[in-house]
Amino acid sequence: MNNINAQIAEIVAEYTDSPQVDFSMANSFEDLGIDSLSLVEIIFDIEEQFDIKIPAEAELQALGLPISTFTDVVAIVQHLVEKK
């Protein structure tokens, strides 16, 4: 889990001007200064790194997995990596 958290933090840090903050404390990606376009890129980078396919937002919602915060993303990746 910690390893996944650290790897995702490293990816997210590339898209924000404040890489020192604790991403898990942020309420949303917007709070981190990450817009929807950057989020699309972050998802792409995560998919590449973990060799997973993150489902579309509607599908995630149906699974009860929101994707609006850093912690959400970590949980989704954890879920998908375990399923592999």
- Residues binding other proteins (CB under 8 A): 37, 40-41, 43-44, 47-48, 53
CB of 44 to other proteins, least distance (A): 5
DSSP-assigned letter for residue 19: T
Among residues 4 and 54, whose Cβ is nearest to other proteins?
Answer: 54
Among residues 1 and 19, whose Cβ is nearest to other proteins?
Answer: 19
CB of 19 to other proteins, least distance (A): 15
Q: By C-alpha distance, which of 49, 48, 45, 83 is closest to 63?
A: 83
Q: From CA 78, how far away is CA 75, in angstroms rounded?
A: 5
Among residues 21 and 52, whose Cβ is nearest to other proteins?
Answer: 52
Locate 13 and state its tokens: 């840090």
